[in-house]
Amino acid sequence: VVDVGLTIPSILILILIAIALRGVNPTEMSLIVAATAWLWPTRTIRSQVLSLKERAYVDVARMSGMRGREIIVRELMPNLIPFIVANLVNTTASAILATIGMEALGLGPTSHPTLGMTIYWVILHAGVLGGYWWWWVAPVVIIVLIFIALYLTSVGMDELANPRLRRSV
């Protein structure tokens, strides 16, 4: 299911669902984005689990008498949690970008003030061409700050998860 879902461009799926459900509210918009946001993290986390499963310390745990669930909790999860959190941050950034993009195309909830809808109204009323910089600067700055914060969170999680990037303590 995941591999088939990855072959179809997610923005196309998002646009088709948003067009079919015209007049969506923010909750429905979140569900539409979540419908495709889980595909990449699922694949990468699965491949990480398969890689960790083949490590020597898992074999040692098996030989010492640990059962499957015990190996998962004590050996795999401590190594997997930073990777999962980093994936969560990246997926959150992708979901925010997809939501803002769909709203900027006019496919979002028009009755709710969001960053994407603000950009949609700026585009619709030619705010950039008309020189109305105060219409678009605030949402763009907020979007940039959100993505900088998510990037820094991702870098911090990568530093935590990757021993080669850790600073000496």
Mean pLDDT of 80-94: 88
CB 135 within 8 A of CB 116: no
Look at residue 86 in the predicted model and tell me its pLDDT: 84
Give the C-alpha separation, 9 to 23, whole Å: 23
CB 82 within 8 A of CB 157: yes
**DSSP 8-state assignment for residue 168:** P
Look at residue 132 in the predicted model and tell me its pLDDT: 87
Q: Which residue has the tokens 């925010």?
A: 96
81: Cβ contacts below 8 Å, ≥ 6 apart: none
CB 58 within 8 A of CB 71: yes
Assign 31 a pLDDT band (cuts: 50, 70, 90): confident
Give the C-alpha separation, 39 to 41, whole Å: 6
Look at residue 70 in the predicted model and tell me its pLDDT: 92
Assign 157 a pLDDT band (cuts: 50, 70, 90): confident
Instruction: Output the pTM of the full model.
Output: 0.80
Number of domains the chain is built from: 1
In this structure, the dihedral spanned by the alpha carbons of residues 13, 15, 19 and 20, taken in order and rounded to 10 degrees, is 10
**DSSP 8-state assignment for residue 23:** S
30 phi/psi in degrees, rounded to 5: -65, -40
pLDDT higher than 60, residue 169: no
pLDDT higher than 60, residue 88: yes
Assign 97 a pLDDT band (cuts: 50, 70, 90): very high
Q: Which amino acid makes up residue 101?
A: G
Q: How many CA atoms lie within 13 A of 127 on its CB side?
A: 15
pLDDT higher than 60, residue 111: yes
Overall residue count recorded for the chain in this entry: 169
The whole domain housing 160 covers: 2-165
